[in-house]
């Protein structure tokens, strides 16, 4: 039995006022900010075209997913982000709804899911590897608790599908054989990878217990323009960018290091098409 938002989480969310504004943008509070909504709430009612919510939608992969959904006919997807930097979406800013909030704050997630009533959530928001290892406590809140908040909000408000971006960092380096498959043990070396393993298993629990259509992609290093956040394998993009500028670049891993890579547009296409695939056709590749 699914508990309603009112009975289960009474008092846990903010009561908000509504303001009308020419700019179709609304903002959910993060510490030090007042919760406010700009734009017409009518745009957040459930639409026949099936609204999509993307966490981390202003990030490297997230912005590309947003752009791909728009090219496939998605009407005004809702982008949930924490950074306040929406530069990657400048070219499509008039085609999306922007929501600023924090995955670690449950009320922010509850508010946006309740108002948007999405048919699918692309959960791409996360703290990346280097920041996660530097601040494990923050990573637990952003990654593990953030995923729990998304899954629980999906359950409470009847969102049928959650698509999650995981990582090959869940495997670490201690595995046998040349090919990773479903039998490969997940023994992450990085704290980031550990939060992704935990998130995957939370999703599988919600699938088994509540029937949530939870699916995920374990991404390798993603190569494309505009990588900004430091990470273990970001050199795979930076080396190309710096060479294109005619500048030298020092790769910080041993010369015999092998790293699987995937082009940014293919990464976006993978998770979009995974969500549209029949369950019977989902296989390891």
pLDDT < 70 stretches in the chain = 1-50, 175, 177, 226-240, 242-243, 249, 252-253, 257, 283-285
pLDDT for the residue 180: 76
User: Can you give the pLDDT at residue 3?
Assistant: 35
Q: Do 23 and 41 contact (CB within 8 A), yes or no?
A: no
| pLDDT given at position 145 | 98
Q: Which residues pair with 216 in a beta bridge?
A: 164
Ranges of each domain in the chain: 5-223+264-279
- pLDDT value at residue 168: 86
Q: CB burial class (10 A; 0-12, 13-18, 19+) of residue 133?
A: middle
- CATH fold, domain 5-223+264-279, is Rossmann fold (3.40.50)
Q: pLDDT value at position 283?
A: 65
Phi, psi of 53 (to 5 degrees): -115, 130
The predicted pLDDT at position 223 comes to 82
Geometric angle at alpha carbon 205, from 200 and 207, rounded to 5°: 95
**Is the entire prediction scored with pTM above 0.85?**
no
């Amino acid at each position: 039995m699914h508990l309603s938002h009112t009975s289960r989480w009474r008092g846990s969310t903010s009561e908000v006022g509504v303001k009308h504004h020419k700019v179709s943008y609304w903002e959910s509070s993060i510490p030090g900010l007042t919760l406010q909504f700009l734009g017409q709430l009518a745009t957040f009612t459930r639409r026949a075209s099936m609204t999509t919510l993307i966490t981390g939608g202003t990030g490297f992969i997230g912005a590309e997913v947003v752009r791909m959904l728009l090219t496939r006919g998605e009407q005004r997807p809702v982008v949930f982000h924490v950074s306040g930097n929406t530069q990657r979406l400048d070219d499509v800013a008039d085609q999306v709804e922007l929501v600023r909030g924090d995955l670690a704050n449950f009320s922010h997630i509850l508010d946006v899911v309740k108002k948007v009533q999405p048919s699918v959530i692309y959960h791409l928001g996360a703290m990346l590897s280097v920041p996660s290892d530097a601040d494990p406590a923050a990573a637990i809140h952003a990654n593990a608790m953030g995923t729990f908040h998304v899954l629980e909000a999906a359950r409470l408000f009847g969102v049928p599908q959650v698509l999650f971006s995981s990582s090959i960092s869940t495997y670490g380096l201690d595995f046998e054989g040349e090919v990773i498959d479903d039998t490969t043990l997940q023994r992450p070396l990085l704290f980031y990878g550990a939060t992704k393993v935990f998130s995957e298993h939370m999703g599988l629990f919600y699938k088994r217990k509540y029937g949530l259509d939870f699916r995920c992609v374990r991404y390798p290093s993603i190569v494309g323009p505009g990588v900004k956040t430091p990470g273990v394998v970001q050199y795979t993009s930076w080396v190309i960018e710096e060479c294109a500028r005619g500048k030298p670049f020092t790769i910080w891993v041993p010369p015999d290091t092998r790293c699987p890579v995937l082009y940014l547009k293919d990464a976006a296409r993978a998770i979009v098409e995974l969500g549209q695939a029949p369950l019977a056709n989902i296989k390891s590749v």
